[in-house]
Amino acid sequence: MGARTRRVADKRNNERDDRPAGKPTNEPASPWRMAEPLALAGVPAALLACAATGTDAAGGLTLFATVACVLLMLVGFERERPALRQVMPTAVLSAMAAAGRILFAPIPDVKPVSAIAIVAGATLGRRSGFVVGALAALLSNAFFGQGAWTPWQMYGWGMVGWLGGVLAERGWLADGPHLGARLSALGVASGLFYGLVLNGWYVIAYVRPLAWPGVLAAFAAGLPLDLVHGVATAGFLAAIWLPWRRQIRRVVGKYGL
């Protein structure tokens, strides 16, 4: 009877492990959660405003907007007062993403950060996905070097994790015959999106005069590297999606996260 009971329990746990990730709850949204979309949208809004006005202070103004956005997201995560058992999976994934970036340092633009941030967002929620991506950039830059690019990397990888959580909540990453194709598309798109963020900051902050030839040349120069990043992310997702998602969901189910 004991062995049979364990088999039944294992079967039930596996069934729970296969449930869709990131389902929205019925809890009332806090002011911090309601402010998230505005904070995240404030960065591209600042970029577009500086591009439209042609201000020479674009670098400083957009950097200020990015730092404010990242701080708001991190403070909002802390203000929810998560228990230690909720913080630990996010902290562990952040450390693993940072270590993975350092480990693959010899190979340009082949980094697991985006893939790990997407898995975190899909299994732990969009806010945890943002925190994992942002902290991975901050921690790994202790090795690569901190600078004005750090907040932009935090925002870019944080957004990748946040969007991964949003897509999971919408059921776009649910199990099905097309999941592999969707993960591949998401991986490539995340690399291009991250490049768009970093290249957009560079163009608007430093390209003078700000004209279409210079803008197109800057984005064209970064496109091959962004594609490598995207294809690498798709490969990392194919490798870690199923085993990591199952293990994280078991932790979520066990501790009621």
Amino acid at 31: P
Amino acid at 46: A
Total of domains in the chain:
1
Say if residue 92's pLDDT is above 60.
Answer: yes
Q: Tell me, what CATH number does 238's domain have? A: 1.10.1760.20
Q: Using alpha carbons, select from 155, 109, 127, 186 the residue that is nearest to residue 101.
A: 109
**Band of the pLDDT at 220, cuts 50, 70, 90?**
very high
Least confident piece of the model among 6-10, 41-45, 93-97, 128-132: 6-10
Does residue 130 lie in a domain region? yes
How large is the average pLDDT for residues 143-156? 95
Does residue 116 lie in a domain region? yes
Does residue 61 lie in a domain region? no
Does residue 122 lie in a domain region? yes
- pTM confidence score: 0.86
Does residue 96 lie in a domain region? yes
Does residue 247 lie in a domain region? yes
How would you label 64-89 residue by residue, b for 16+ Cβ within 10 Å and e otherwise? ebbbebbebbbebbeeeeeeeebeeb
Does residue 66 lie in a domain region? no
* DSSP structural state of residue 33: H
Q: What is the rounded CA–CA span in Å between residue 207 and residue 59? A: 10
Residue 29: helix, strand or coil by DSSP?
coil
Does residue 201 lie in a domain region? yes
The per-residue pLDDT for range 27-86, each reduced to its tens digit, is: 455 676 777 888 899 999 999 999 998 888 899 999 999 999 999 999 988 887 777 777
Residue 24: helix, strand or coil by DSSP?
coil
Least confident piece of the model among 8-12, 145-149, 220-224: 8-12
Q: Which residues contact 48 (CB under 8 A, 6 or more apart)?
A: none
Q: What is the rounded CA–CA span in Å between residue 19 and residue 16? A: 5
Q: Using alpha carbons, select from 30, 230, 253, 4 the residue that is nearest to residue 127.
A: 30
Determine the structural domain holding residue 143 and report its residue range: 81-255
